Amino acid sequence: MRFEGFGDGAVEFYEGLLADNSKAYWADNKELYAEHVRAPMEALLAELEPEFGPGFGKGKVFRPFRDVRFSHDKSPYKTHCGAVIEQGRGGGAYYVEVGPEGMRVAGGCYHTESDQLARFRGAVDTEIHGEELRRLLDALSERGWEIAGTALATRPRGFAPDHPRLDLLRHKSLYATRTWEPDDALHERECLTRVRESWEAVRDLNRWCADHIGVTEKKRR
């Protein structure tokens, strides 16, 4: 299947899900989701994986169901559809999602285990790798990307209060993201061009994450 844009009902589907996040709504509209959201997302990922996946990671479309085991919010379904190319969480990611607010693309580190966080801070602590990361983030910010991620309110233990990259050292995740509101391009071939150009823009950031954070060595329980 060649990607030709998300279906005309994609945004409408998620607007409805925001209003009624129930199994009944999902059952009544699952064909709309499959045709207008899931199938186009799989086609988009299939076209871009040969370009961004080799030597980096594999692609997948995230499942639509929320993990509600430890959440106070028991709504069963995610209110967006996301897809990613990555080797493992934390070591860089080419991300895209579509939902009621339009389309979001992103790249970088979304999560760190303790071993990944130690490697991240070790790299940021060095002049060569820390300043390289700074330059990458500044360049993306100047081009309209939002730099985001979870961060400590205080400085991490073991680092001086006047460290030149203390703001980066506080981070436990760090990524760049940009969003397009719903428009005609979302439903056209042009959407693929937006994602491709955006992922190309975060390629160097993802390489930095792959080189200096990598995948966790901790075993899952």
CATH number at residue 91: 3.30.930
- Determine the structural domain holding residue 78 and report its residue range: 10-212
Name residues whose C-beta falls within 8 Å of residue 151's C-beta, 6 or more positions apart in sequence.
167, 170, 171, 172
Query: Which amino acid would we find at residue 171?
Result: H
Q: In whole angstroms, what is the distance from residue 101 CA to residue 130 CA? A: 34
Burial class (CB in 10 A: 0-12, 13-18, 19+), 194: middle
Residue 81: which of 45, 28, 27 has the closest Cα?
45
Residue at 220 is within a domain: no
For 93, the 3-state DSSP assignment is: coil
Whole-number pLDDT of residue 113? 93
**Token couple for 85:** 């190319």
Tell me, yes or no, whether 2 lies in a domain. no
Contact between residue 220 and residue 148 where contact means Cβ atoms under 8 Å apart: no
Query: Within a domain: residue 5?
Result: no
| pTM of the complete model | 0.93
Radius of gyration over every alpha carbon of the chain, rounded to an integer in angstroms: 19
**Tokens 């080799």 sit on residue:** 54
Give dist(CA 82, CA 89) in Å, integer: 14
Instruction: Give a yes or no: residue 219 inside a domain.
Output: no
With respect to residue 197, please indicate whether it lies within any of the assigned structural domains.
yes
168 located within any domain:
yes
Per-residue pLDDT of the chain (221 residues; tens, 9 = 90+): 799 999 999 999 999 999 999 999 999 999 999 999 999 999 999 999 999 999 998 999 999 998 767 777 778 999 999 999 998 888 999 999 999 999 999 999 999 999 999 999 999 999 999 999 999 999 999 999 999 999 999 999 999 999 999 999 999 999 999 999 999 999 999 999 999 999 999 999 999 999 999 998 776 54
| 114 in a structural domain | yes
- Asked if the structure places residue 94 within a domain, the reply is yes
Domain count, the chain: 1
179 residue type, one letter = T
